[in-house]
Amino acid sequence: MRINPLVAATAPPPVPAAALWRAAYDGRHGPLVDLAQAVPGVPPPDALLQRMAAAAGDPAHAGYGPITGEPALRAALAADVSALYGAAVAPDEVAITSGCNEAFAVAMMAVAGRGEEAIVPTPWYFSHKMALDIQGIVAVPLFCRAADGFVPSVAAARALIGPATRAIVLVSPNNPTGAIYPPEVLAGFLALAREAGIALVLDETYRDFLPGGARPHGLFRDPNWRDALIHLYSFSKSYAVPGHRLGAAVAGRPLLAEVAKVLDCVTICPPRAAQAAVAWAVEGTRGWRTGTRDAVARRAALFAAAVAAAPGWSVSAIGAYFAYVRHPLGGSAEAAAERLCAEAGLLALPGSFFGPGQEDHLRFAYPNLGDDAVAGLAERLAILGGAR
């Protein structure tokens, strides 16, 4: 049969490809340390697990639910967003999705069509690029530099806008670099999007890991935010429930009405039992989530110190869940990542998985490390240090 050429031309998922490198490591330096995929380092709190189990056993949750999510979770997230950002967001301005990747895919389907364009900072999140490729939306690279902390330039984005541009896509805190975009930069991008009559799609999957629980920006305090902003969120990392597939989009009602059409054709409704439990957890696990955030911040400091102690390695950017690390191995980033796995037992993702011009970097999901494992990180990196 004929395969859709857009799907056929899309790169395969990178994380399973990198997992194949595991077989080359012989265990000489201890157990393999997987820093490739961002996975919560701790299980959910028992109270959340108990509520999930009870909800899963409730026949009421076995049927279809509302397309854009359960009212209780939409209300809980709307209140959470309103409190964090200091603005009023209504429950009907929230759509719950089956993970944040779905939120991105359906949002882009609602605002752009085949042959149209989205401006995407590079290095980019590979799942975003895959979703755009599959839909035939052209990803226009907005190149970011290590010297600028991998923060994108509003002026450079303005120069890329053309008649086919339909959106600017940002991720902050960033995946893969960990860079945290300053509030004034995000405000500049929202103003640019409104000026150009396009969408600003802002993925804030990792916003709960900002140091000290800082307010990420003031975009929701702009009375006209609904004209251009689409905010994306994930419950996976903050609540340690990635397998339950819950994400969200926050946007104006007209946009969410279009998103609902797509969702009805894809999943009909997000997982109901998980929604019931997480609706309680938004407030019920707030203290636990604060402790997790602080533990991740401590691990970031330990990770940065370990890299600094390894000759030839350096952290270019770090924050929330990721560190973007310059490696000393020369050649391609993919070859460097394979060597690091085979010779040092550290599995990281090559920068080349995140777009062009990234051969000098590897991405590490450092929260996967236990505090004890961080201690041996410098020694493992030093095995390949100074090899350029």
pLDDT tens digits, 227-283 = 999 999 999 999 999 999 999 999 999 999 999 999 999 999 999 999 999 999 999
Residues 296, 334, single domain; the answer is yes
Residues 191, 80, single domain; the answer is yes
Angle between helix 272-284 and 71-85 (nearest 10): 30
Residues 25, 156, single domain; the answer is no
Residues 240, 101, single domain; the answer is yes
In a domain, 387, yes or no: no
Give the count of domains, the chain: 2
In a domain, 388, yes or no: no
- CATH code of the domain in which 231 resides: 3.40.640.10
- State the Cα–Cα distance between residues 385 and 388, nearest whole angstrom: 8
Residues 145, 193, single domain; the answer is yes
pLDDT higher at 283 or 376: 283
How many CB atoms sit inside 10 A of residue 330's CB?
11
Residues 325, 361, single domain; the answer is yes
Q: In terms of Cα–Cα distance, which of 251, 240, 249 is closest to 270? A: 249
Task: Decide which of 239, 264, 285 is a domain's last residue.
Answer: 285
pLDDT tens by residue, 64-83: 999 999 999 999 999 999 99
Once rounded to an integer, what is the mean pLDDT over residues 32-39?
89
In one letter, which amino acid is 183?
P
3-state secondary structure of 314: strand
**Percent of the chain at pLDDT exceeding 90:** 88
Residue 38 near residue 368 (C-beta atoms within 8 A): yes
Residue 312 near residue 279 (C-beta atoms within 8 A): no
Task: Decide which of 232, 256, 285 is a domain's last residue.
Answer: 285
Residues 59, 152, single domain; the answer is yes
Give the pLDDT score at 386: 58
- CATH code of the domain in which 22 resides: 3.90.1150.10
Residue 149 near residue 94 (C-beta atoms within 8 A): no
Q: How far is CA 298 from CA 122, 209, 247, 373, in A?
A: 27, 11, 26, 13
Once rounded to an integer, what is the mean pLDDT over residues 7-21?
91
Residue 165 near residue 199 (C-beta atoms within 8 A): no
Is the pTM value of this prediction over 0.85? yes
- State the Cα–Cα distance between residues 236 and 279, nearest whole angstrom: 14
Give the pLDDT score at 138: 98
Strands (E), 235-364: 247-250, 314-319, 322-326, 346-347, 349-350, 361-364
Residues 126, 79, single domain; the answer is yes
Residues 55, 38, single domain; the answer is no
Task: Decide which of 245, 261, 285 is a domain's last residue.
Answer: 285
Residues 6+ apart with CB under 8 A from 11: 126, 129, 130, 133
Residues 39, 53, single domain; the answer is no
Composition of the chain by helix, strand, coil, percent to 5: 50, 15, 35
Residues 144, 195, single domain; the answer is yes
Residue range(s) defining the domain that contains residue 363: 5-43+288-382
